[in-house]
Chain A
Amino acid sequence: MSTFELLMQGFGVALQPVNLMWALIGSVLGTAIGILPGIGPALTIALLLPVTITLAPESAFIMFAGVLYGAMYGGSTTSILINTPGEAGSMMTALEGNKMARAGRGAAALATAAIGSFVAGTIATLALTFIAPAIAELAFYFRPADYFAITVLAFCSVAVVMGRSRTRGFISLFIGIALGVVGIDAMAGQPRLTFGMMQLLKGIELTVVLVSLFAVGEMLYVASRYRSVPGTMVSIKGQSWFTRNDFKRSWAPWLRGTAIGFPLGALPGSGSEIPTMLSYTLERKLSRSGEFGKGAIEGVAGPEAANNAAAAGILVPLLTLGLPTSATAAVLLAAFQNYGLQPGPNLFSNNPALVWGLIASLYIGNCMLLVLNLPLVGLWVQLLRIPRPQLYAGILVFAMIGVWGLAQSWVDLTIMALVGLMGYVMRVYDFPIAPVLIGLILGPMAEGYLRTALAASQGNPVALVSTPVSATVMTIAVLIFALPPLLKRLKADA
């Protein structure tokens, strides 16, 4: 069956009234949490995981896709109107967007952000539609050594790129791997790090760690930092709307932002910060108006497009190889595992309705979000009036109920308290969170592939780099790890 027919079937799934309703709920929720600073899509989906277990998987994923895209839209609104990025990907938007709002062009900034997100989201979804099945077919020929090399590459790039220093990145990564080792060793069936506790035999539930790190750790951090409602809100009443000239200046940055965001989103470790930063720098270099720093529309259009395109980009390695490249992707992977589904090449052949329904819902979600965001901006910003203490406390309570609901286990709640505190300490001392999740998810996978590759070759380590793919990927991983300090040293000597 051709990709197009499969996509049409996907629309058949996504356009069912009940799924449209979930897409709408997801989009509304996503926009709301995008607007609220400190609450991101990863946290929201993590909190929803225990609750959605009774939903059909298609419906749950369609809702999650809405949350993911909605957060991108919502984040830009806060950045532009009150100069506080609602989430990390909107940091660059705040630079020019808030200046535009202060200069009376806030409506135009919101419009270019929303339309740019729509354009980028649509193009990137199109790219995902046609690239993903090709990669999925390729993945059938990958051997365990190839997969092991890819996981090593993911480890290295995540630990090196994310966070303030490599040491912090690797410490986070190894905490994650250590958590992933707990439970029954899949190869020999022996218990590891269970300290004689029956409840630890099944391992540490990814959902529990996610909720602890995001809800408990992150909320403690945010609550300890935000003392009062930040900044003042610029009102957009009576401001001039998006003009023909604005469009002329926006379309090229939208396209460039998409071109930067989509491939970078697919790479491990880049998240949404790097593509948006690159896009902003590029637009600044290309600009001749001299308006940059005073509210240039290009500086909003480019990063916003890059941000949304990156969000679609992370779905490529996730759906095709089962490889999460960001915290949000890690949460989505946990969602798949909750339903007993393993993303990877077989997902496309075993669950076409789910995969194509999810992809189709991305198109629908984009249209919905455009409608939700442009005319209703005034309504959305009212959310910022919710008092913080109640909001954060509510999230903590909701998180605890969710974790308890998973398995009614006191052990899970204890783990939640411990990991949550660890998450807070990590945030305070600038340790990145994402490597913990990547280590927890990919650690056991890497171990399985490593041991399968070694066992199949009867313990000969050369097998690990014996295929072209594994040798190439392993070399890149070593370069990512070793090159930057080497270059630094060479520069210092010169």
Chain B
Amino acid sequence: MNLKSAVLPAALALGLLTGAAQAQVNVMLPAGTGGGWDTTGRQAFAAMNAAGIYTGGVNFTNTGGAGGTIGLAEFLSTSTGSADALAVFGAITVGAIELNSSPINLAEFRPVARLTAEYLVIAVAANSDIDTLEELAAALKANPGGTPVGGGSAGGVDHIALALFAQAAEVPVADLNYIPQTSGAETVTGIVNGTLVAGISGTSEFSQFAEQGRIKILGVTSAERRESLPDVPTFAEAGYDVELANWRGVLAAPGAPDDNYSMWVENFAKLAESDAWKQVLATQGWDDYYLGGEEFGAFIAEQTETQGQILRDAGLVN
């Protein structure tokens, strides 16, 4: 009994020590396990390992909630100034920071790489009278309140896509009847049973229901038509300036040492070129959306500006 009570804590301590010694990079995944950000982070490091770019240990932390702002706040307080500290985030974080008046400023972090994108589609019920984006725009213009549109969380990319569409179609953003739904499947259910006139979600979530013949996809937010959806026009083709992707990327800690920071920018640049990563993109159905280092920083700044303006126009943020 005495031996046992002495050995157990010792073994535990040993386990913790070896665990700490092996983990060379700490990665914050500001979402629950199994979600998009979690998968992006874990798959990126698995691919790096497979391609021999970075084979050291990785210590992942999952802190979910509020569009990633909770995890990033924790990352800020624990990792500022440290080397080998990275965090995954994405387009949704930008809107969430504005909405929750979060103290986080994305410009403080050091931008490493933008990695993936998923484009959005807008759809109506298969038996709807609306067949084109123009007809949907006309319906929105005639009666914005009576044309409820569903999608992801308030202020998220789906909401912003609708707001951009409304702006391009000269419908006041504040008049839109946007109803957040808990999942893409829930949005489809709402479209099918007539609660919602239209819905917005990621390509992968809607295409299976379009194949089942439950919904009609009217438009996609990519610059060019998608290979998987050859008959779906882009918003730009229809004359609406809506080009938007649900992108995901990686940040380094604020004040990270320069040489360490450039090493990680380099690593992710190599990752984007690797076959292992291309394999991941293919299996997950993600688009390559790589942009490295400071260029990514400029992109974040621009997104912060445009998304903030849209949220103010929608009356969601003062």
Contact = CB atoms under 8 A, between A and B. Distances in A.
Interface of A: 53, 140-144, 183-184, 186-191, 198-199, 201-203, 339-340, 342, 345-346, 350, 407-408, 448, 451-453, 455-456, 458
A128 to B, nearest CB: 22
| Prevailing SS type, chain B contact patch | loop
Interface stretch (B41-49, B59-67, B107-115, B235-243): B59-67
B189 A448 contact: no
Contacts of B145: 458
A190 B32 CA distance: 21
18 contacts: A53-B33, A142-B193, A144-B195, A187-B154, A187-B180, A189-B96, A189-B153, A189-B154, A191-B100, A202-B70, A339-B33, A340-B32, A342-B182, A346-B189, A408-B61, A452-B150, A452-B195, A458-B145
B316 interface: yes
Which of A345, A453, A456 neighbours the largest number of chain B CB atoms within 10 Å of its CB? A456
B91 to A, nearest CB: 15
Contact of A189 (B195, B196, B316): B316
Given A350-B185, A456-B196, 13 more contacts: A143-B193, A189-B96, A189-B316, A191-B100, A201-B69, A202-B65, A203-B65, A340-B33, A346-B189, A448-B182, A455-B177, A455-B179, A456-B148
A191 B107 CA distance: 24
B316 A188 contact: yes
Contact of A143 (B33, B69, B179, B195): B195
Contacts of A191: 100
Contacts, number: 84
Nearest to B103: A198
Nearest to B197: A456
B32 A184 contact: no
A333 to B, nearest CB: 14
Nearest to A185: B154
B121 interface: no
Contact of B66 (A53, A184, A188): A184
B80 to A, nearest CB: 16
A340 B31 CA distance: 11
Contacts of B99: 189-190
A488 to B, nearest CB: 40
A121 B180 CA distance: 40
Contacts of A189: 96, 99-100, 153-155, 316
B183 interface: yes
A199 B183 CA distance: 23
A24 B66 CA distance: 39
B310 to A, nearest CB: 13
A144 B190 contact: yes
A452 B181 CA distance: 8
Which of A143, A186, A189 neighbours the largest number of chain B CB atoms within 10 Å of its CB? A189
Contacts of A141: 193
B35 interface: yes
B34 interface: yes
B209 to A, nearest CB: 10
B165 to A, nearest CB: 19
> Which 4 A-B pairs give the minimum distances between C-beta atoms?
A202-B65, A189-B154, A201-B66, A189-B99
A143 B189 CA distance: 8
B70 A199 contact: yes
Interface size class of B (residues with CB under 8 A): 35 or more
A183 B179 CA distance: 18
Given A143-B195, A144-B195, A340-B34, A186 B70 contact: no
Contacts of B316: 188-189
Which of A202, A453, A458 neighbours the largest number of chain B CB atoms within 10 Å of its CB? A202
B232 interface: no
A142 B155 CA distance: 27
B269 interface: no
Interface string B156-172: 00000000000000000
Interface string B2-42: 00000000000000000000000000000011110000000
B146 interface: yes
B33 A453 contact: no
Given A53-B33, A187-B180, A140 B192 contact: yes
A25 B209 CA distance: 39
A151 to B, nearest CB: 14
A308 B28 CA distance: 44
Contacts of A342: 182-183
Contact of B180 (A186, A198, A345): A186
B73 interface: yes
A188 to B, nearest CB: 6
A458 B153 CA distance: 19
A52 B59 CA distance: 19
Given A189-B155, A201-B66, A452 B100 contact: no
A183 B193 CA distance: 30
A203 B66 CA distance: 9
A456 B147 CA distance: 8
Given A187-B154, A202-B66, A203-B65, A456 B185 contact: no
Contacts of B190: 144, 452, 456
A183 B100 CA distance: 11
Nearest to B69: A201
B134 to A, nearest CB: 23
Interface in B36-94: 61-66, 69-70, 73
Nearest to A407: B63
Nearest to B101: A191
Contacts of A453: 195
B250 to A, nearest CB: 22
Interface string B180-208: 11110100011011111000000000000
A346 B188 CA distance: 11
A186 B154 contact: yes
A191 B33 CA distance: 23
A415 to B, nearest CB: 14
Contacts of B69: 198, 201
Contacts of B146: 458
B150 to A, nearest CB: 8
Contacts of B70: 198-199, 201-202
Nearest to B32: A340
A350 B195 CA distance: 22
A202 B62 CA distance: 13
A453 B195 CA distance: 7
Contacts of A452: 150, 179, 181, 190, 195
Which of B96, B150, B154, B177 neighbours the largest number of chain A CB atoms within 10 Å of its CB? B154
Contacts of B73: 198
B187 to A, nearest CB: 10
Nearest to B35: A340
Nearest to B196: A456
B185 A458 contact: no
B44 to A, nearest CB: 19
B215 to A, nearest CB: 13
A146 B163 CA distance: 29
Contacts of B185: 346, 350
